[in-house]
Structure 1
Amino acid sequence: MKKIALSIVLGMFALLASAQTWVSDPAHSHLTFAVSHMTISEVTGNFTQFEVKVTATKPDHSDAKVEVTVQVASINTDVEARNNHLKTADFFDVATYPTMNFKSTSIKKVQGNHYKMAGNLTMHGVTKPIVLDVYYKGTVTNPMNKKETSGFLLKGKLNRMDYGVGPKFPAAFVGTDITISGSVEFTESK
């Protein structure tokens, strides 16, 4: 029995020792969104300050644990007045809820480089499950810093009303479905 327990403990240490942590490279990553406006056009924007941390033991990151922290005040729609309005209590209320957070709960291979990543998104003080499509673009050695670098694309949708964002604005004015997408490069953290 002692040998079995020792084997389990050693196996856990080996697994932990082989786990790699990867962090997002802000200069080569973006997180964007799109929402309909008055049902006839689309407003797009991005968050300029966010951080993604991935811990994985497999080379293709198929066992990844992902944590994302977005600074909501970094919202940018290329219109300063709109950015400022989105930061108010009418929408994101950044004074009360300065960050948006995502923590993965599972990742499952669909086919080839396509995965489904489930997790919990906390926005505006509300936590709800969400599923994202993730596409692994590969891993290369960055010639500039000689570190392993991995790339991913992500896509998904959420309903802003589920999170209490902009409840005074009906779907005919500001769409309820928000399309999110991102392209993130990760560098192995040593």
Structure 2
Amino acid sequence: MKVLTSLVVASIVGVSGLFGSSFNVDPSHTNVGFKVKHMMISNVNGKFNNFEGTFSIDDSTKKFTKLDGIVKVASITTENENRDKHLKSADFFDVEKYPQMKLKLVEHNGDTALVELSIKDVTKTIKMDVEDISGMVKDPWGNVRTAFVLEGKIDRQEFNIKFSKVIETGALMVGNEVKIIIEAEGILTK
């Protein structure tokens, strides 16, 4: 009976592996970006240029079963050299002390994913909207690809990004709410 039980368990594990697909993030077709209020009248958009990640999707449900990402914080760009230098400083990300941000899937239900986000010395579970998990396509070089979009919001103060300069109107120079936008394309692992 134990042998039969072991065979059944092994079969289920083997079959479930057949229905899942694992991907490596393609950095040249992926955007890891953010948007934050500037003086409460406009937005500053930025992105990170150096990152890596993997994800797995259950082929039958089109849900994430795994999602891991690492961002090199020093790769931040807002297309303004002085502002980028300030964002890398201890006022914001303190890249010398905290060179990476991390993202890890907790669970995916419906159009929402719960992920652990680590920034500086803080890890919190946040909710992100899963806007799209595309079907798989084969590119001209024989690679199988898929893509997804994740969007969420955080309060930067909760992640120890405490810069709080106030302008003469009493508004914050940099808003506390930060919108995160991840538009990712992945290549099926072989």
TM-score normalized with structure 2 length = 0.89
Does the residue aligned with 2:85 lie in a helix, a strand or coil? helix
1:66-108 deviation digits (Å, cap 9, x = unpaired) = 0111110000000001101111111101111111001011001
User: Residue in 1 aligned with 2:88?
Assistant: 87
Does the residue aligned with 1:175 lie in a helix, a strand or coil? strand
User: Cα–Cα, structure 1 residues 147 and 60, in superposed 2: closer, same or farther, change >3 Å?
Assistant: farther
Alpha-carbon distance in structure 2 between the residues aligned to 1:28 and 1:60? 24
User: Cα–Cα, structure 1 residues 169 and 16, in superposed 2: closer, same or farther, change >3 Å?
Assistant: farther
User: What is the deviation of 1:56?
Assistant: 2.9
CA RMSD in angstroms comes to 1.8
Alpha-carbon distance in structure 2 between the residues aligned to 1:77 and 1:86? 9
User: What is the deviation of 1:60?
Assistant: 5.4
Does the residue aligned with 1:83 lie in a helix, a strand or coil? helix
**Which residues in structure 2 correspond to 1:50-129 (within 5 Å)?**
50-59=51-60, 61-109=62-110, 115-129=111-125
Alpha-carbon distance in structure 2 between the residues aligned to 1:165 and 1:59? 40
User: Residue in 2 aligned with 1:178?
Assistant: 178
Give, as a single letter, the amino acid of the residue that structure 2 aligns with 1:95. Answer: E
User: Residue in 1 aligned with 2:189?
Assistant: 189
1:35-77 deviation digits (Å, cap 9, x = unpaired) = 1111112111111111221023325531421011111000000
Q: Gaps (5+ residues) in structure 1?
A: 110-114
Alpha-carbon distance in structure 1 between the residues aligned to 2:8 and 2:42? 60
Alpha-carbon distance in structure 1 between the residues aligned to 2:186 and 2:136? 11
Q: Gaps (5+ residues) in structure 2?
A: none
1:141-165 deviation digits (Å, cap 9, x = unpaired) = 3332222211111211000000001
Percentage of identical aligned residues = 31
Contact 1:132-1:156 at 8 Å conserved across structures: yes
Does the residue aligned with 1:176 lie in a helix, a strand or coil? strand
Alpha-carbon distance in structure 2 between the residues aligned to 1:61 and 1:75? 31
**Which residues in structure 2 correspond to 1:23-42 (within 5 Å)?**
23-42=24-43
1:156 aligns with 2:152: yes
Give, as a single letter, the amino acid of the residue that structure 1 aligns with 2:12. Answer: G
User: What is the deviation of 1:168?
Assistant: 4.2
**Which residues in structure 2 correspond to 1:3-18 (within 5 Å)?**
3-16=4-17, 18=19
Count of matched residue positions in the alignment of Structure 1 and Structure 2:
185
User: What is the deviation of 1:119?
Assistant: 1.3
